[in-house]
Amino acid sequence: MDQSEISQPVTDDVVLRRIERLQLNYISSIDEGPLDNWPHFFTDKCLYTVVSRDNFDRGMELGVMRFESVGMLIDRATATQHAAVFAPRIIRHLLGPTLVDDTGEGYRSRCNVAIYQTSPDGDTMLLMTAIYNDLIVEQDGVLKFKEKRVIYDTHRIPDSIVYPL
Amino acid sequence: MDGTQSSNNSETDIWSEAGTTRVPFQVYQDAEIYAQELEKIFYGSSWNYVGLECEVPNSGDFRRNFIGEREVLMIRKGDGALSVVENRCAHRGAQLCQTLSGNAGSAIMCPYHQWTYTLDGELTGMPFKRGINGKGGLNPDFDMKAHGLVALRVESLNGVVFASFDHDVPTLKEYLGPDMVKYFTRIFNGRGLRVVGYERQVIDCNWKLQMENLKDPYHAGILHLFLISFGLFRLDQESKCLVDDSKGHSVLMTNKGTEEGKEDTGGVKIAAPDFALTDHDLIQPRLEFGDNTTLSIQTLFPSIIIQAQCNTLATRQVIPKGPGSHELVWTFFGFKDDDDEMKNLRLRQANLMGSAGYVTLDDAEALEFSQVGLSGSSAGDAAVLEIGGTDCESNDHLVTESLIRGFYMKYRDIMGHGKAGA
């Protein structure tokens, strides 16, 4: 996804801070909710995929989730809240520092992420470690994800993945 | 049972009746029963799924897998045939291959002391076999032929590979029986296969609960609100539940219903009846097997499930990990001649399945609820399986647990847990 892009490191602090804020607001929509906000961090046509590193390294696109429009993201947010049965849980994303490059087409943003999950009994476990590899564009003065690829290392998932990542 | 004074007698006594409408909760948590399951079922006279031929196209390609808790390697040999050997060195027991897949070249070599084997598992050599300057090494009478890898019997049916530790087991087709072969070859119809991708999840419940879940159409029309909401699965759909003569294998199939009348849910509570789906591709299959069936789930004893839900096709392998846990490995596949539209459909409809699937995330959750719930049970407590009566016969409806009852008929026979049905 990166190789063909001609990109330059972004050094403008204002841009870097806006992108960092986008990422923090994004994870907050999942960790703190409401989940109804989550789809609106994306452009209308977009690509959101959650792919194991195992599949990714084999050149396989199969993801545990794959959405290509805001509509599909809204489907997921609605289904998770109203058409799924699962034990309640708390999700917590911890983000590492973000590397940002300007590709001309948008900002390529990469950061490590660890996602923890806490059960109703209060036990916290590591759900996965992953990298966000995102393409961010500006639309009407607002930064949005045109692509968000969550490539996760933990390809032996403990139980199930309920919330988006 | 604390495991210190268990005996075969106490295990056979846990079943309160000749039939299988009561499944004692011990079978999901007792360490001794679990150990016997590994020996009698997985390492006994069963055929176990080990992968797809298309995963090992070239000579030397291997894929690592499990049968029970033993690791095996499925290997493509130089002559194009397949071998399956245990992934354990005959010398000191070290694991030979660590990656999930790879290419071994023309020989398998243990990383510890470089003992080397053919792709069939025959021991061919090791460093310092004759020592140094006549000192050390192996005795000249060491029998190389007696120290190969444990080799399994292998058969493949239309690209799907099975192996058995028992070299005297009946052929795979005999083991499956004509009915199961018919439904197996409906999906695996000889077209070249391709792997779309893998998913793996660890679910903390006994492996049999996972198998039961895929033999339980009753839950599917209740638990899976997503399916019910969009008419993908309803208990009133045209359907079949088939149990084979051995009672251990089964198929359940339904033809797609319509979204009309979805408000009639047979008393099942839906939280969001007005929820409309944006992505209709998700629930609109392209029929590809010459019939109107849009969901088929085949379960083959002991531990493989073949799923075709719309156009998302997968094998789901259940790998036991102690009495209270199992790993579920999903191999999503398609056909080599899939067009671009079908390739996209398979990727998008995979949203239904897997560890985050609209449908199957419910399953993983409910299965853990089961294990937690039954783990506090007393001797004599048992699951009640009387939906659809007490028999293990095939049905033309879905409100039945007869497939699960059938599984336990076969299970009891193999485990020596009394004479089921006597």
Spell out which residues of chain B touch residue A65, defining contact as CB-CB under 8 Å: 351, 356
Bridge partner list, B151: B85
**Nearest CB neighbour to A62, from listed B223, B275, B350:** B350
Q: With CB atoms and an 8 Å threshold, state whether A75 touches B200.
A: no
Q: With CB atoms and an 8 Å threshold, state whether B196 touches A62.
A: yes
- A35 at B interface, C-beta within 8 A: no
- A54 at B interface, C-beta within 8 A: yes
Distance in Å from the first CA to the final CA of chain B: 26
Interface with B, mutate which of A45, A61, A64, A127 (most B CBs under 10 A): A64
State the CATH architecture for B185-415.
Answer: Alpha-Beta Complex (3.90)
One of 2.102.10.10, 2.10.70.10, 3.90.920.10, 3.40.630.30 is the CATH number of B48-155, namely 2.102.10.10
Q: With CB atoms and an 8 Å threshold, state whether B355 touches A160.
A: yes
Question: What is the spatial distance between Cα B207 and Cα B289, in angstroms, rounded to a whole number?
Answer: 30
Q: With CB atoms and an 8 Å threshold, state whether A159 touches B271.
A: no
Which residues between 49 and 88 in chain B have a beta carbon less than 8 angstroms from any beta carbon of chain A? none
Question: What is the spatial distance between Cα B407 and Cα B113, in angstroms, rounded to a whole number?
Answer: 44
Question: What is the spatial distance between Cα B237 and Cα A143, in angstroms, rounded to a whole number?
Answer: 46
Instruction: List, edge to edge, every strand of the sheet that includes A8-9.
Output: A8-9, A90-102, A107-118, A124-139, A142-152, A42-52, A65-69
Question: What is the spatial distance between Cα A132 and Cα A113, in angstroms, rounded to a whole number?
Answer: 7
Chain B closest CA to A131's CA: distance in Å? 18
Contact B26, B34 (CB under 8 A): no
Spell out which residues of chain A touch residue B350, defining contact as CB-CB under 8 Å: 62-63, 66
Chain A closest CA to B46's CA: distance in Å? 26
Q: Tokens representing B62?
A: 């291997």
Which residues between 257 and 316 in chain B have a beta carbon less than 8 angstroms from any beta carbon of chain A? 270-272, 275, 277-279, 282
Residue B277's pLDDT is 82
Q: With CB atoms and an 8 Å threshold, state whether A155 touches B200.
A: yes
Phi then psi for B37, rounded to 5 degrees?
Answer: -60, -45
A156 by Cβ neighbours in 10 Å (0-12 / 13-18 / 19+) ranks as middle
Question: What is the spatial distance between Cα A77 and Cα B84, in angstroms, rounded to a whole number?
Answer: 44
Which chain B residue lies closest to A165 (C-alpha atoms)? B356
Residue B271's pLDDT is 58
pLDDT in tens, A113-139: 999 999 999 999 999 999 999 999 999
Q: Tokens representing B14?
A: 């846990």
Question: What is the spatial distance between Cα A144 and Cα A41, in angstroms, rounded to a whole number?
Answer: 5
Transcribe B215-259 into DSSP letters: T-HHHHTTT-HHHHHTTS--TTSSEEEEE-TTSS-EEEEEE---S
A52: which residues sit within 8 A by CB, 6+ positions away? Answer: A64, A151, A152, A155, B197, B198, B199, B200
Site of tokens 């992420």: A113
Spell out which residues of chain B touch residue A69, defining contact as CB-CB under 8 Å: 278-279
Chain A closest CA to B35's CA: distance in Å? 24
CATH 2.102.10.10 domain span(s) along chain B? 48-155
Taken in order of first residue, the domains within chain A and their CATH numbers are 8-152 (3.10.450.50)
- A125 at B interface, C-beta within 8 A: no
Q: With CB atoms and an 8 Å threshold, state whether A84 touches B196.
A: no
Q: With CB atoms and an 8 Å threshold, state whether A160 touches B350.
A: no
Report ipTM (2 d.p.): 0.95
Spell out which residues of chain A touch residue B272, defining contact as CB-CB under 8 Å: 78, 81-83
CA distances from B420 to B6, B239, B393, B409, B416 (A): 21, 28, 15, 6, 9
**Nearest CB neighbour to A158, from listed B198, B202, B229:** B202
Spell out which residues of chain B touch residue A60, defining contact as CB-CB under 8 Å: 195-198
Question: What is the spatial distance between Cα B366 and Cα B214, in angstroms, rounded to a whole number?
Answer: 13
pLDDT tens digits in sequence order for chain B, 422 residues long:
343 334 444 445 789 888 999 999 999 999 999 999 999 999 999 999 999 999 999 999 999 999 999 999 999 999 999 999 999 999 999 999 999 999 999 999 999 999 999 999 999 999 999 999 989 999 999 999 999 999 999 999 999 999 999 999 999 999 999 999 999 999 999 999 999 999 999 999 999 999 999 999 988 888 888 887 776 777 777 889 999 999 999 999 998 755 444 555 666 666 556 677 887 777 788 999 999 998 999 999 999 999 999 999 999 999 999 999 999 999 999 999 999 999 999 999 999 999 999 999 999 999 999 999 999 898 889 999 999 999 999 999 889 999 999 999 999 999 998 765 54
CATH 3.90.380.10 domain span(s) along chain B? 185-415
